[in-house]
Amino acid sequence: MHSIVAIVLPTFATIIVGFVFGRWRGQDVRAVIDVAMYIALPALAFTSMLDKPIVLADAALLWAAALVIIGGGFLMAFVFFRISGQKHSGLYLPIAFMNNVNIPFPIIYMAFGSAGLGVATLFFIPNAILIYTLGVHIASRSASWKDSAREIGRVPLVYAALGGLALNLLHVAPPALLTDSLKFIGTAAIPLVLIVLGVNLSGIRLAQLSTAALAAALRLFGGLALGLLMVALFDFQGVTRAVVLFESAMPSAAFGSILCAKYGNESELVSTVVFITTVASVVTVPLLLYLLR
């Protein structure tokens, strides 16, 4: 258990640092977000794709699992809204889309090494494509699919992951000078995204706690149930099995609250779900990691 705490503690300690900084200074961190999203994270994603040979068939199974987990999240949300007699639009996002980067990347890297991070990056690709297209479409309510699809063209992280994947599948090794430089840049990604997450959480105003708590339970426990179904269906083993289960039970994606705030779609309720799931993950993440290791 001591090793689990040693793995998890730096992640949540860094989030707390960002939270305290946000409460104390209330700084605009958009410039930091840009550095993380346009430089550090793409470098990390690109190099993580090159560390271990990837079989396209295995990657396809991983993408299928990610798509089913997201689709299952939408279905759970739909059933929940019908049973409770509630009508929501933005609330679909924090139930269906999990945090694929801020929390899982550093923990998976420390727990399972570069092999685990490679699996996590592959798992991230369909999530990123969907949240930047379908997620934008749902959050904006009136935006066209064409406008929503343009958003994915502005996300270098997806291009970096796909580029690294293509080089891996083609057995092309980039120059060591390039990969070493990108690995060095990528080391900045993890602390940056964790601090930004903490700052974003510091500005959340809680709303509709009962509805938010139920939505949070669907994300964490419903997501884990879907993950268990996928690892059984596709017979995932070893590190791949552990990463899929770990990712499936992650807190809600913080980007969902950013989208809903941008388009004025249940932003406080969505942010509340993000906050609850992130706080709950202080308990659920170490427990899950203990069981998986």
CATH code at 38? Answer: 1.20.1530.20
N residues, the chain: 293
Please list the residues that pair with 98 across neighbouring strands. 252
d(CA 200, CA 197): 5
Q: Which residue has the tokens 């923990």?
A: 107
Angle at 36 between CA 223 and CA 148, to 5 degrees: 60
User: Is 2's pLDDT higher than 70?
Assistant: no
d(CA 101, CA 253): 9
pTM comes to 0.81
> Tokens at residue 59, please?
């990657």
Instruction: Please give the average per-residue pLDDT across 188-199, as a whole number.
Output: 80
Instruction: Please give the average per-residue pLDDT across 75-98, as a whole number.
Output: 89
Q: Where are the alpha helices (DSSP H) in the chain?
A: 2-25, 30-35, 41-48, 56-84, 92-96, 104-140, 145-152, 156-169, 176-186, 189-202, 209-217, 223-233, 238-248, 254-263, 267-292
- Is 261 in contact with 271 (CB distance < 8 Å)? yes
> Tokens at residue 36, please?
């993380």
Helix (H) or strand (E) holding 99: none
User: Is 105's pLDDT higher than 80?
Assistant: yes
Count: domains in the chain: 1
Structural domain range at position 93: 2-292
d(CA 40, CA 102): 12
Instruction: Please give the average per-residue pLDDT across 253-276, as a whole number.
Output: 80
- Is 290 in contact with 1 (CB distance < 8 Å)? yes
Angle at 121 between CA 116 and CA 122, to 5 degrees: 100
pLDDT at 198: 81
d(CA 278, CA 12): 10
pLDDT in tens, 148-187: 666 666 678 778 888 888 898 888 889 989 999 998 998 8
CA atoms within 13 A on the CB side of 205: 4
Q: Report residue 223's pLDDT band, with 50, 70 and 90 as the boundaries.
A: very high
